[in-house]
């Protein structure tokens, strides 16, 4: 573009010179276009134009994959215990259950030791002399009194300490002993077996 301008300028100068020297002749034919001149330096950058209107929002992109879960934070301190609520009403008493069966009777415990003999009572009045009773056999004898006897205190050859049962008397008797038995009737006399 600059070379074309230079060429035009030269042609105009030639025309002016021709006007000065002589009468104006017929215009000659336009000469051939001269070679293009070298490109001039770039001019300064113009001011920035006004900003164009904002374009429409593009379509939303696909949602990215969910990231890995973060570490669990430490447990917070336990809060203070709340006040105790009011006590509820007492419920009605339930029906009484059936009585269970009676358990088996336990074994009879061992007989306890014989207590100490009490102090002797005061001597009573002397009674009338009774009739002479039968002669008691002492040696090699065992007595049984079903009413006043005692299988624990009974002794062989002691008429005053009779046994209560014949079984106990047999256990205390020796070979050849005589067992005297008095029935439960206190009026009955001893019988030898």
Confidence of residue 75 (pLDDT cuts 50, 70, 90): confident
- Distance from C-alpha of 145 to C-alpha of 190, rounded to nearest angstrom: 8
Whether pLDDT at 180 is above 80: yes
pLDDT for residue 163: 96
For 29-53, write each residue's pLDDT tens digit. 867 866 866 866 866 866 866 876 8
pTM of the complete model beyond 0.85: no
Q: Which two tokens stand for residue 143?
A: 């007595």
β-pair type (191-192, 178-182): antiparallel
92 in helix, strand or coil?
coil
Distance CA(182)–CA(193), nearest Å, equals: 11
> How high is the pLDDT of residue 162?
96
pLDDT value at position 136?
Answer: 72
Residue 127 CA to residue 168 CA, distance in Å, equals: 35
pLDDT score, position 146? 92
Sequential DSSP letters for 150-174 = -TTT--TT-TTS-BSSHHHHHHH--
Q: Using pLDDT thresholds of 50, 70 and 90, give the confidence band for residue 165.
A: very high
What's the whole-number mean pLDDT along residues 166-182? 95
Q: Kindly report the average pLDDT of the chain as a whole number.
A: 74
Average pLDDT value for residue range 146-164: 95
pLDDT tens figures, 78-137: 768 768 768 767 667 657 667 667 667 667 667 667 767 667 656 556 455 444 445 678
Residue ranges of alpha helices (H) inside 34-88 are none
- The pLDDT assigned to 44 comes to 82
DSSP 20: H
Closest CA to 146 of 162, 158, 159, 170: 162
State residue 167 phi and psi, 5-degree precision: -60, -45
Position 129 scores a pLDDT of 46
């Amino acid at each position: 573009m600059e070379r074309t301008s230079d060429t035009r300028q030269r042609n105009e100068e030639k025309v002016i010179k021709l006007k000065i020297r002589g009468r104006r002749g017929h215009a000659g034919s336009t000469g051939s276009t001269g070679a293009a001149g070298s490109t001039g330096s770039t001019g300064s950058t113009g001011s920035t134009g006004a900003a164009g209107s904002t374009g429409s929002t593009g379509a939303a992109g696909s949602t990215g994959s969910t990231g890995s879960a973060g570490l669990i934070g430490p447990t917070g301190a336990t809060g203070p215990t709340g006040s105790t609520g009011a006590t509820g009403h007492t419920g009605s008493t339930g029906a009484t259950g059936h009585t269970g069966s009676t358990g088996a009777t336990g074994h009879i415990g061992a007989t306890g030791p014989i207590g100490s003999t009490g102090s002797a009572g005061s001597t009573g009045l002397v009674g009338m002399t009774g009739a002479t009773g039968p002669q008691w056999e002492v040696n090699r004898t065992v007595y049984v009194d079903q009413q006043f006897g005692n299988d624990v205190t009974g002794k062989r050859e002691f008429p005053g300490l009779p046994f209560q049962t014949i079984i106990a008397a047999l256990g205390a008797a020796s070979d050849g002993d005589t067992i005297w038995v008095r029935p439960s009737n206190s009026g009955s006399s001893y019988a030898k077996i």
